[in-house]
């Protein structure tokens, strides 16, 4: 089967590559004219502005209309990434330039003329909402463009510059505050709607996709009224955002309600020594980042502001208040290793559960073995995987299949390599999707030269993803049959050495977490009452 898949995918790519070269190389877009670089029939346009620089008085405001330019803008190089810990850029091999003037996007297209109406895939990067950039080699859109889609990647503000809420900001907007990074994503999608046809793309066939925080963003956009009509299909890799509001220490809750986010913002400005919003807008971005700290530190995530994010997404889906599109969503088999503290003893595992999972801890302890250090260590990894990625994916698929008309396709990525013998780590699937094997995609990614089985998996995943972007169904001739997830069948595509549709592998633990999250939602309702 694997050989057959490889042969079919290779033939498809050869057919797609037989062109005389892309002719879409200079395009009039919102703001002015841009010139791309054509290589082997694929035109790449990098660093196209889709909004005004969010600096000065525009800091902590929704993205503003792009400034016009004269002449033809050379779109040959990536724009600076949004301000963040520079170690992220070094880690992933991206250009190290950063700056607040960072709202740019990139386009790859094999179209020879505007009007071809190729399906569009819009990539949203991950990075815990504090890091991330479009210039990572693993995100290069060339190979997917060769398969017949127009690939777009968009930048968005991060950390306190992208997700600071504050009473003054809420008053200023008259709506809410704290979701500037999400509003950047929405502005990028509006740009796609207005401009992508000139690159040979179809503005009525837009698939948004992202990984980790990018995948969570995809689910947030699906529940945001502000993004309505801007996309038509959704792919989330290790994403999903269906936990309750974060009030105190609550496992699986990441987004605070507006009142909590505003209190965090008040404390942050005090730590900066800024008397008010005006003085905070005059501070250098570097000082703001320094106050947050290095790495993944910080309390700045998207906010349940009642506007961009109306509230708990689980409840929004139950009320059928979401973008009812086809979705392709999944998680990886060993994602917890990336976030695990390492070796764990039974008593430490129990303490963690009792701290984050409250009165429901005993029920979870019953389904996560922890009698020995070895069991506790493995269960720690599995619990982190299931709470953050596994349950949200399952819950999303269940909600979509119960309350929507668009089908849900679910995967479980378990491709193993010599450095990931225990399963696939967080972000490990990215170069398989983008067909950029050999580029660094995270601590658990492929290291060394890709092997035949790696290339076969990349052929399989990229074919599924591109088929989905084209038709809303990942299936295609010669590929293992991928059935839609339903409440009654709950089948997922296991992407491994024998890729096939099988039941959810850890359903007992997932259902235990589902009961936990249901308890948390009831607890939140009681708190409001």
Catalytic residues: 212, 335, 426
Tokens of 356: 């984050």
Closest CA to 202 of 109, 118, 111: 118
Q: Is 390 helix (H, G, I), strand (E, B) or coil?
A: helix
The C-alpha angle with vertex 309 and arms to 523 and 512, in degrees rounded to 5, equals: 40
- 284 Cβ contact list (under 8 Å, min separation 6): none
User: What is the rounded CA–CA span in Å between residue 148 and residue 137?
Assistant: 20
CA distances from 170 to 173, 258, 262, 305 (A): 5, 9, 9, 9
Q: Is residue 373 within 8 Å of 349, Cβ to Cβ?
A: no
Under 8 Å between Cβ of 17 and 148: no
Distances (CA, A) of 286 to 52, 79, 525: 20, 18, 40
Closest CA to 231 of 255, 207, 259, 198: 207
Tally of CB atoms within 10 A around 501: 18
228 φ, ψ to 5°? Answer: -60, 130
Sign of the dihedral through C-alpha 314, 315, 316, 320:
positive
Q: What angle do CA 144, 441, 423 make, to 5 degrees?
A: 105
- Token digits of residue 98: 């950063």
Crossing angle of helices 507-528 and 391-403, in 10° steps, is: 80
């Amino acid at each position: 089967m694997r050989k057959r898949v490889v042969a079919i995918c290779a033939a498809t790519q050869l057919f797609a590559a037989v062109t005389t070269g892309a002719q879409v190389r200079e395009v009039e877009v919102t703001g002015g004219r841009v010139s791309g670089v054509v290589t082997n029939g694929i035109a790449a346009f990098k660093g196209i502005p889709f909004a005004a620089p969010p600096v000065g008085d525009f800091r902590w405001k929704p993205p503003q209309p792009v400034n016009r330019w004269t002449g033809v803008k050379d779109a040959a190089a990536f724009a600076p990434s949004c301000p963040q810990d520079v170690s992220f850029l070094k880690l992933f091999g991206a250009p190290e330039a950063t700056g607040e003037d960072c709202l740019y996007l990139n386009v790859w297209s094999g179209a020879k003329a505007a009007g071809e109406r190729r399906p569009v895939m819009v990539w949203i990067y991950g990075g815990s909402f504090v890091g991330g950039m479009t210039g990572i080699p693993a995100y290069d859109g060339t190979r997917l463009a060769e398969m017949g889609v127009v690939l777009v990647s968009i930048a968005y503000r991060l950390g306190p510059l992208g997700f600071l809420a504050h009473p003054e900001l809420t008053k200023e907007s008259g709506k809410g505050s704290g979701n500037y990074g999400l509003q950047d994503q929405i502005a990028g999608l509006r740009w796609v709607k207005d401009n992508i046809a000139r690159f040979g793309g179809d503005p009525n066939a837009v698939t948004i996709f992202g990984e980790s925080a990018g995948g969570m963003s995809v689910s947030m956009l699906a529940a945001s009224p502000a993004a309505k009509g801007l996309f038509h299909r959704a792919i989330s890799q290790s994403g999903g955002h269906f936990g309750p509001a974060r009030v105190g220490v609550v496992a699986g809750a990441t987004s605070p309600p507006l009142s909590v986010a505003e209190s965090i913002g008040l404390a942050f400005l005090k730590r900066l020594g800024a008397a008010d919003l005006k003085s905070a807008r005059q501070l250098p971005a570097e000082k703001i980042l320094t106050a947050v700290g290095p790495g993944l530190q910080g309390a700045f995530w998207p906010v349940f502001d009642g506007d961009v994010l109306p509230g708990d997404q689980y409840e929004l889906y139950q009320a059928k208040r979401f973008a009812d599109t086809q979705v392709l969503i999944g998680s990886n088999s060993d994602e917890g290793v990336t976030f695990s503290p390492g070796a764990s003893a039974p008593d430490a595992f129990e303490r963690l559960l009792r701290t984050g999972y409250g009165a429901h801890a005993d029920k979870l302890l019953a389904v996560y073995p922890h009698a020995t250090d070895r069991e506790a260590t493995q269960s720690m990894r599995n619990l982190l995987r299931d709470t953050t990625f596994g349950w949200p994916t399952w819950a999303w698929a269940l909600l979509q299949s119960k309350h929507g008309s668009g089908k849900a396709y679910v995967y479980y990525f378990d491709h193993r390599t010599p450095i990931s013998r225990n399963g696939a780590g967080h972000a490990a699937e990215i170069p398989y999707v983008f067909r950029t094997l050999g580029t660094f995609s995270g601590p658990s990614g492929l290291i060394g030269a890709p092997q035949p089985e790696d290339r076969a998996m990349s052929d399989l995943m990229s074919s599924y993803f591109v088929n989905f972007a084209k038709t809303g169904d990942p299936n295609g001739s010669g590929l293992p049959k991928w059935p839609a997830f339903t409440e009654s069948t709950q089948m997922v595509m296991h992407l491994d050495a024998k890729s096939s549709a099988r039941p959810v592998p850890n359903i007992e633990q997932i259902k235990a977490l589902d009961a936990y999250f249901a308890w948390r939602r009831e607890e939140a309702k009681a708190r409001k009452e």
